[in-house]
Chains A and B, each alone.
Chain A
Amino acid sequence: MLRKKVLPVNDYTTVGKSVMRIDGLQKTTGETKYAGDIALPGALCLKVLRSKIAHGLVKNIEICEAMKVPGVVQIFTHADVPGINGYGIIVKDQPMLTDKVRFKGDAVALIAAEDEVSAEKAMALIKVTYEELPPLYDVLDAMKEDAPAIHEKGNILGIYKIKKGDAESALQCADVVIARKYTTQRIEHLYIETEAGVAYMDNDMLVIKAGTQNPHYDRRDVARVLGLPLNKVRIMQTPTGGGFGGKLDISVQCFLGLAALKLGRPVRMVYDRETSFIASGKRHPFYIDFTTAADKQGKLVAVKVRIIGDTGAYGSYGPATLNRGAVHATGPYEVPNVDIESYCVYTNNPFSGAMRGFGTPQMAFATESQMDLVANAVGISPVDIRRRNILKEGSLTATQQQLNSSIGIGKTIEAAWEKALQVMPGLGDENK
């Protein structure tokens, strides 16, 4: 086998060097075409009617009056979805147009019109009759056995467990035990560019250009809901004006695909900011019950953690987020005895998905707060407790992965401490 000679860093053209963004110039001149900037002659404007209730069954959708509005070309409902009406990154639980509403903002009808004004007029004339169901906004309520089922299989989408050693005995014998509850809030990504896209038929090929972080996944889901073979769907990612995980989920893609396919005309869809807020995924709110045990020297002996993540109406990246939340619950610290369980739970809130860190930022808040409390109880500094427990070469993680190289966290802590002493002189005297 031929092996390439390993070059020193200086010989690479990009590694270790500052390079110019390949698309930077066009972005400074305003030439870059984001999805909303693409002009397709004769493109129809698409708007989605979204539910104003959080939980309920769609009994009837009356579109006759709306269809009479001049400029309206077609109105689609769940009955018009040609393929399997469910998409999603991990679990295919989100309908493109729904007959069961699971959050305020679920898509009920899709309007295709010659212009925005007619689309909006039509939207106001569609009458939807619901059979309302009691909404569940709280994960603990949703987990109760007699809670109404938001999805057929129940409200607990997944449970992820990590067990190592004997956490229970360690907790009982430990010198210091700190138990606290933490909650984190729902967060919107707020990319500056709202969701947008265009679609058209190129002979029998459906072409969708959209602001997305996930063109390959989009392709699979669009083909699925439209009942098309994969090779008849082409997704092109336009320059994306921010995503932060929020554009991993389907937004406009299926709507564009359905309308272009059924009407044979180019279509365009741009969310306004309000729709973007209502319809997009959020960071999972976490409910964390955290117990940490340590010996007199501040060496961690056990953690017991229970995490509940509110994935809202749909799974999206929820299973991965709660899985990662569990895996990272011990933080960058070595803990010999571990008992972690995390739950991904449906509610009638806006759906939660991926956002920068997949559950790790939520856990870091709890884990690091616990470290400070343990340090305080033991009588050592927050820096020292981290020094004594930090992952280093050879350490075992909560999942028994042995770390054999590239463990930079110890160095990072020392560098941060050094910097802290520089910018906050005197800190070391009282807190070394």
Chain B
Amino acid sequence: MAEFHLETTVNGKSIVKNIDPSMRLLDFLRNVLHLTGTKEGCGEGECGACSVILDGELVDSCLVMAPQAHGKEVITIEGLAESGEIAPYQQAFMEVGAVQCGYCTPGMILAARVLLNNNPKPSKKEITRAISGNMCRCTGYTKIIQGVQTAASLKEAKDQQNVDIEFENLAEMDASRHAAKEGVTRE
């Protein structure tokens, strides 16, 4: 079978691979690069669990063929995590309880990231629209919308200070969690 010579950038790293031209971008990310943060939910572009950012746009990676990423830049949830960019989303989603089973979370965060990059102060309606391609079966969306709103203000604060702000709450919560666990052990 003819192979496709794919040159692409994934999470800032340049990738060169010969691949089956009929491979979906989703399978390339999960099976070839082992980036399993991108999930498959429906396999037909309905649920958004497989969302990734392709040249700045949110796409369903189950509907994009891997060769379509040739010469382009792909960002997955692992890319946000590695660059440290994810922290405001983490703090926001955790604080308001927007993470439950977590399966839609990577896609949701990437959808929120694309929105906030283009529109740092979105209205509730704009948030709803931005995440409309990403399904969640646990939260009922209220908490996710709150999470995106909170992330927007955290990002704004971060940008204004133009420094890496310490996410104290995260550290605090982590510490109290450990303390609580130890407490349980002592009982």
Q: From A18, A25, A29, A34, give the contact of B103 (CB < 8 A).
A: A34
Number of inter-chain CB pairs below 8 Å: 108
When A29-B90, A32-B102 are in contact, do A193 and B138 touch as well, CB less than 8 Å? no
List, in ascending order, chain B residues with CB within 8 A of A21's CB.
94, 97, 99-100
B183 at the interface (CB under 8 A from A): yes
Counting chain B CB atoms within 10 Å of each CB, the highest count among A23, A29, A194, A273 belongs to A29
Q: Is A393 an interface residue (CB 8 A)?
A: no
Compute how far the CA of A189 lies from the CA of B137 in the bound complex, rounded to whole angstroms: 9
Q: Determine whether the beta carbon of B177 is less than 8 Å from that of A192.
A: no
Contacts of B80 in A (CB 8 A): 29
Contact A29 B77 (CB under 8 A): yes
Which of B39, B94, B176 interacts with A28 by CB under 8 Å?
B94
Residue of A nearest to B179 (CB): A13
Whether the pair B41, A18 counts as a contact (CB closer than 8 A) is no
Q: How far is the CA of A30 from the CA of B94 in the complex (A)?
A: 14
What per-residue 1/0 map shows which CB atoms of B37-49 lie under 8 Å from chain A? Answer: 1111111100101
| Residues of chain B contacted by A26 (CB below 8 angstroms) | 102
Q: Does A272 contact B (CB under 8 A)?
A: yes
> How many residues from A make CB contacts under 8 Å with B?
36
With a cutoff of 8 Å between Cβ atoms, the chain B residues found around residue A28 in the complex are 86, 89-90, 93-94, 99, 102, 105-106, 109
Is A31 an interface position by the 8 A CB rule?
yes
Asked if B76 is at the interface of the complex by the 8 Å CB criterion, the answer is yes
* A244 part of interface (Cβ distance < 8 Å): yes
In the complex, which of the residues A18, A36, A239, A243 contacts B102, with contact meaning CB atoms closer than 8 Å?
A: A239
Asked whether, in the complex, the Cβ of B102 is within 8 Å of the Cβ of A241, the reply is yes
Does A9 touch B at the CB level, under 8 Å?
A: no
Q: Can you name 13 extra interface pairs (CB under 8 A) apart from A29-B80, A192-B136? A: A14-B180, A21-B99, A22-B177, A24-B102, A28-B86, A28-B89, A28-B105, A28-B109, A29-B90, A37-B36, A191-B101, A242-B101, A273-B43
13 A–B contacts from the bound complex (CB under 8 Å): A21-B99, A24-B93, A24-B102, A26-B102, A28-B94, A29-B86, A30-B36, A30-B76, A34-B103, A191-B101, A192-B104, A273-B41, A273-B42
